[in-house]
Amino acid sequence: MDAISVIRTKRDRGELTDEQIDWVIDAYTRGEVADYQMAALNMAILLNGMNRREIARWTAAMIASGERMDFSSLSRPTADKHSTGGVGDKITLPLAPLVAACGAAVPQLSGRGLGHTGGTLDKLESIPGWRALLSNEEMLHVLDTTGAVICAAGDGLAPADKKLYALRDVTGTVEAIPLIASSIMSKKIAEGTGSLVLDVKVGTGAFMKTIEDARELASTMVGLGTDHGVRTVALLTDMSTPLGLTAGNALEVRESVEVLAGGGPADVVELTIALAREMLDAAGVKDADPAKALADGSAMDVWRRMIAAQGGDPDAPLPTSKEQHVIKAPASGVLTRLDAYDIGIAAWRLGAGRARKEDPVQAGAGVEMHAKPGDTVTAGQPLLTLHTDTPERFEYALQAVEGSYDIAAPGTDFTASPVVLE
């Protein structure tokens, strides 16, 4: 077998055989197939697609590239959730302790920011002392003692995906449904969760811009999970506008803690509760009431224990940015659009995300929103506050937010998109 014949098959719109797929994933993981060859194959897959059999085999080969975890020693059923990535998507932070407070165990392997979308680990690292990197034993211990753990996937889990993900990020091959589905599902299946809820984002701030693409991605992933014995369900949710009122690391932790304290923005609370219900249902936990567990403080108790178990101080003040810049509403009226992609780019340019893989992120950087679509605004009131430690970034971020919102005449009839679409 050789890489060139595999690339040619897909370039010429052929179907890859099981042997070709097994060989190329294994050889790439071992360094025998070069990055430039895998990049060419990824581009051919992006352009020409893969059928269900090819996607299933590609996913199985990625799982087989590493170890599989096993949570069968836990006394509770396991439930995990995965979001395909969005702006202001801090839902994992309140959701994991909430579902644990309701009786399931939540092994949440999370990632870092990718492009304009934020990463759960970057957000949590703004809590002084908190550690994302745990050994498998530490992860099991935190899960067993607190009910939830949010950490980085170990090096042994789907190593083929680690290499492929980094390569796709820098070769314009992220947005391919077969590659996204296999990337996400290989990690989730190898992680060993019993059930999985997928939050498939749709809209300007998501990788899937149309509902049709999001449906196809969702059904591909549900099929992969089900075939591997993981009870998998998917919700399609709106990502045309950011979730909540913050995009940025410490800013989003602060908002998540507000949700755990029984407050927080309505859209974040609604999605957290909707996903919690799906996770508990998929895990077979009956008679739990997530809304009650948020209101009575039991989710907050799990959060505090979970943060402390990973070295964090839940009472420590969160970092704030050194500089702020306020953007005021230019007119009075109804806010009818606040674009998720533009706000994500602005947060990223302010320092909340990375330009290169090895760059550090700024804990306090990001965008605070003072109104959401559907809200009435008055000329001169603060609309957005930009946060950064490095004020030379303001100009570049301001370019991103320039066309990011529309304000219609006062009294305009406008209904914002629902949070859960399907």
Binding site for ligand URA (CB under 6 A): 84-85, 111, 165, 174, 179-180, 183-184
**What is the closest distance, in whole angstroms, from the C-beta atom of residue 218 to ligand URA in the complex?**
13
Catalytic hit among 168, 231, 349, 393: 168
Which one is catalytic: 80, 161, 238, 267?
161
CB of 184 to ligand URA, least distance (A): 5
What pairing do the DSSP bridges indicate for beta strands 195-202 and 231-238? parallel
Nearer to ligand URA, 165 or 394 (CB): 165
Within the chain, how many helices (H) and strands (E) appear?
16, 12
CA atoms within 13 A on the CB side of 95: 30
73 among known catalytic residues: no
Q: If DSSP states are collapsed to H, E and C, what string results for 47-79?
A: HHCCCHHHHHHHHHHHHHCCCCCCCCCCCCCEE
- Considering the complex, state which of residue 252 and residue 258 has its C-beta at the smaller distance from ligand URA: 252
Q: Are strands 366-369 and 246-248 parallel, antiparallel or unpaired?
A: antiparallel
Alpha helices in 319-393 (DSSP H): 340-347
Closest distance between ligand URA and the C-beta of residue 200, in Å?
11
- Least distance from C-beta 394 to ligand URA, angstroms? 29
Which residue in 187, 231, 349, 393 is the catalytic one?
187
Joined tokens for residue 118 = 């934020």
- In the bound state, the residue with its beta carbon closest to ligand URA is 183
168 flagged as catalytic: yes
The answer to whether 61 touches 25, Cβ cutoff 8 Å, is: yes
Which one, 65 or 183, has the nearer CB to ligand URA?
183
Q: Which of 82, 123, 162, 201 is catalytic?
A: 82
**Smallest separation, CB 207 to ligand URA (Å):** 6
CB atoms within 10 A of CB 231: 18
Joined together, the tokens standing for residue 311 give: 């070295």
Minimal distance in Å, beta carbon 54 to ligand URA? Answer: 16
N-terminal to C-terminal alpha carbon distance within the chain? 44
SS3 content of the chain, % helix, strand, coil (to 5): 45, 15, 40
Tokens 């907050």 correspond to 300
Q: Among residues 180 and 243, whose Cβ is nearest to ligand URA? A: 180
Q: Is 183 among the catalytic positions?
A: yes
Q: Between residues 188 and 349, which has the closer beta carbon with respect to ligand URA?
A: 188
Eight-class DSSP state of 157: S
Q: Among residues 153 and 397, whose Cβ is nearest to ligand URA?
A: 153
| Catalytic residue check, 82 | yes
The H or E element that residue 333 is part of is strand 333-338
DSSP designation for 381: S
Choice between 119 and 194, CB closer to ligand URA: 119
Cβ(229)–Cβ(208) below 8 Å: no
CB contact set of 358 (below 8 Å; sequence gap of 6+): none
The reply to whether 305 belongs to the active site is no
Least distance to ligand URA, CB of residue 49, Å: 15
Positions annotated as catalytic residues are 82, 161, 168, 183, 187
